[in-house]
Amino acid sequence: MFADLSIWHILILVAVVTLLFGTKRIPEIGASIGKGIQAFKRGLQDAGSIEEPPPSPPPPSSQTRSIPDGAPKRLNE
């Protein structure tokens, strides 16, 4: 795919990128891409090293409440 890329093609590509983004913006773009790659690699390393099981849910309470006959009943009780 890139085998036919000559020095002239590369120079034209650099000129177009410079015209589109400007000389001040190109280093900022490169730095942000580098930071993004580093953050991605760090995330992959963190995801691979953390293999803790999820915390177990608390045991159900053994207390029961009595509801008077005339009081409204809630579904979650």
Number of domains in the chain: 1
Q: What is the pLDDT of residue 51?
A: 63
Q: What is the pLDDT of residue 33?
A: 94
Q: Residue 39 sits in which domain range? A: 24-48
User: Does residue 39 fall inside a structural domain?
Assistant: yes
Q: What is the pLDDT of residue 50?
A: 65
User: Does residue 69 fall inside a structural domain?
Assistant: no
Q: What is the pLDDT of residues 3-61, one digit of tens each?
A: 788 999 989 999 998 999 888 888 998 999 999 999 999 988 887 666 666 677 777 66
Give the dihedral sign, CA 43/46/48/52. Answer: negative
Enter the pTM of the model.
Answer: 0.44
User: Does residue 36 fall inside a structural domain?
Assistant: yes
User: Does residue 34 fall inside a structural domain?
Assistant: yes
Q: What is the pLDDT of residue 52?
A: 65
Nearest C-alpha neighbor of 13 from the set 21, 46, 27, 71: 21
